[in-house]
Structure 1
């Protein structure tokens, strides 16, 4: 089951959906719902890192440098998601975090789909 990317892709898609749900709940003022979704999202951070780490160690012999960069960028995406939610809760500015989140997410997606075990969208 872990030998393919399906579990990893499913987990990060669910994490992104939960991230935007947590943002919507925060913007609507539902603190309790936001807190619950944020905690579930943190669980999915662990699942994403576990499945990504497994894929990294399983397939890094193909191209260790690029898989290492993708792993690092993936961890940064998770870090920026968490920083955005925490800074919103504290009432601080999130503009820089949003920019860094979008850049790191796009770079991670590009590398993930471009590398040999990803989908072949970019010929």
Structure 2
């Protein structure tokens, strides 16, 4: 399992694929078998994102920035929560506009903080 915690590659791969699957599930028609399958695959990737995130979070304690990584972890949980809320509420036919907005706000904040922290890429 060392290959999962040495770099951020696996974590980035899981959230990129997770977001793509989420967007595919969000645009599919309600009640179709394809939407249910895409939703279940998205849930699998939520678990993989959380698993790889926990692995990186435990590694981040070596950097002495545990609080900032904790905030990023919390923002990541909120992002995943909004993804799930969009899919579940759209399946029930309820309004999802607020959850879409919150999803993009939390996603932007999580990515910004993730790229800014020492284990991230030097983008900012």
Aligning the two structures, in what range does the TM-score lie when normalised by the shorter sequence? over 0.9
Corresponding residue for residue 9 of structure 1: 12
Local SS of the residue matching 1:118: coil
Over residues 55-99 of structure 1, what are the superposed CA-to-partner deviations in whole Å (9 max), with x where a residue is unaligned? 001113420110000000001100000000000000101111111
Residues in 2 aligned to 1:30 and 1:87: alpha-carbon distance in whole angstroms: 12
Alpha-carbon offset, residue 102 of structure 1: 0.8
Corresponding residue for residue 31 of structure 1: 32
Alpha-carbon offset, residue 30 of structure 1: 6.3
Residues in 1 aligned to 2:61 and 2:15: alpha-carbon distance in whole angstroms: 20
Residues in 2 aligned to 1:87 and 1:61: alpha-carbon distance in whole angstroms: 40
- Say if 2:24 is the partner of 1:18: no
Runs of 4+ in structure 1 deviating by more than 6 angstroms, as ranges, are: none
Paired residues in the alignment total 120
Corresponding residue for residue 110 of structure 1: 112
Corresponding residue for residue 82 of structure 2: 80
Local SS of the residue matching 2:118: coil
TM-score w.r.t. structure 2 length?
0.93
Structure 1 gaps of 5+ residues are: none
Structure 2 gaps of 5+ residues are: none
Contact conserved, 2:76 with 2:107, CA < 8 A, in 1?
A: yes
Corresponding residue for residue 56 of structure 2: 55
Q: Structure 1 residues 30 and 92, CA, compared in 2 at 3 Å: closer, same or farther?
A: closer
